[in-house]
Amino acid sequence: MAVRTLPSRSCTPDAVKELPPNFEPSQFDVITPPEPPPPDPATQRRIVAAMWLEDNLTQPRRVGEIFAQWTGGTQRLQRNGSLRWEGGRDGTDGHWLTDLCEAQKLLRVKAFLGTDGSWWWTCPETAEQAQTRMNAA
For 26-51, the pLDDT digits (tens) are 655 666 788 888 888 888 898 899 99
Across-strand partners of 84? Answer: 76
Domain range list for the chain: 41-136
User: Which of 4-13, 77-86, 89-98, 99-108 has maximum average pLDDT?
Assistant: 99-108
| Structure confidence by residue, pLDDT tens digits, 55-87 | 999 889 999 999 989 988 888 888 888 887 777
Distance CA 68, CA 60 (A): 15
| Structure confidence by residue, pLDDT tens digits, 114-125 | 899 999 999 876
Is the pLDDT assigned to residue 9 strictly greater than 50? no
